[in-house]
Amino acid sequence: MTTGDVIRKYRKNKGMTQDEMAARLGVTAPAVNKWERGSTLPDVALLAPIARLLGITTDELLSFKDELTDEEISRYLSRMQKDLEVKNFHDVFLSVKEKIEEYPNCEKLIWQAAVILDAKRMTAELPDKNNYDSVIFGWYERCLLSEDEQIRNQAADSLFHAFVRKEDYEKAAQYLNYFSRENPERKRGEALVNSKTGKRTEAYRAYEELIFIGYQRIQLTLNDLRILYMEDGNHEMVKKLIEVSSSAASAFEMGRYSEVCWGLDAAVWEKDAAWTAQLIREILNSIGTTGDFTKSRIYQHMTFKTADPDFAAGLKQELLNSLGDESFHYMQGNEDWEKLKSGVY
């Protein structure tokens, strides 16, 4: 909002004509007209008198109202949502539009207000809901230029789904480029577009890859969390997270080996001889299932590298060789352990 826009807006709010404003400031009406058109700016000496006349601060006059605090945004959005429940949508829309004109650089306000209005016009089933596209989509487009990655991504996501609803899948796909290639939302969007445009195999594969990668991220996070609990000596949570990891491996059909391999470091940490022996035995007996996930129907459209036939044997031998490591010193003399070391399991 330019200084001229501010002068025109608040002059009209006060019910003054340009002639009246000019007379009260001691300038000519054409001078006021030039301010409002942006042809010239008021003399510095007139800024305070103009602000007082219009009932605003000099910061507001010079359009320095570019930001709102998070608390102010929250309060405004709360009032806006209440207004949408009891007032005409168009009236609320115009009020929000005016607010955004006051704070044209407040990206959080623009993004969140656009989302709320966008959702409301869909659920309210307005007969003319498409008439608001240009303004609401324009707000989203402005947010695509934000330096805040969350705001950019949310705006791109909103535009993507808006054009999916319109069945303009080519346009929708363009907004996926605002997501990094590592962002799973990009692949999920690509899968959705593929499913709507006849590329069913590609859609299935993309969704399966998301499941597969998602599982790996879950396990990495569970493992990191478990280590943190180990550092803090929380034995109960360590065992709980091992159970969750095992259950996740089972649910995602990763194979028996993936179900039993969790917890060995915890057993060593607790120096639990019986638990250690049990885990080593189960791991040795299930090493041949390390590639069982490739047979799962959950991942039937994915292509996996052919497993090295010597991989399982090498992994088993490596584990057997490690049984004499210092970390297993507490197992010395354990009958089950000696059997395992000799290859009886």
**pLDDT tens figures, 85-132:** 999 999 999 999 989 888 888 899 999 999 999 999 888 878 888 899
Please give the mean pLDDT across all residues of the chain: 92
- Distance (Å, rounded) from C-alpha 237 to C-alpha 76? 42
Q: List, for residues 23-73, the tens digit of each pLDDT value.
A: 999 999 999 999 999 888 899 889 999 999 999 888 778 766 557 889 999
Give the model's pLDDT for residue 65: 56
Architecture per CATH, 3-61? Orthogonal Bundle (1.10)
Residue 225, pLDDT > 80, answer yes
Give the model's pLDDT for residue 101: 83
Confidence of residue 286 (pLDDT cuts 50, 70, 90): very high
Taking a C-beta distance cutoff of 8 angstroms, is the pair 103, 121 a contact?
no
Per-residue buried b or exposed e for 142-158, using 16+ beta carbons within 10 Å of the residue's own CB? bbeebeeeebbbbbbbb
Of 203-217, 283-297, 311-325, the one with minimum mean pLDDT is 311-325
DSSP 144-172: TT-S-HHHHHHHHHHHHHHHHHTT-HHHH
Q: Mean pLDDT over residues 293-304, rounded?
A: 96
Give the model's pLDDT for residue 66: 57
| Residues carrying CATH 1.10.260.40, the chain | 3-61
Short-list 258, 267, 254, 333, CA closest to 294: 254
Taking a C-beta distance cutoff of 8 angstroms, is the pair 36, 4 a contact?
yes
- Distance (Å, rounded) from C-alpha 228 to C-alpha 91? 53
- Distance (Å, rounded) from C-alpha 136 to C-alpha 115? 8
Triad 12, 17, 21: Cα angle to 5°: 100
Triad 2, 5, 9: Cα angle to 5°: 145
Full-model pTM: 0.73
Q: Mean pLDDT over residues 269-273, rounded?
A: 94
User: What does each C-alpha distance from 216 to 176, 187, 201, 211 come to in angstroms?
Assistant: 24, 16, 23, 9
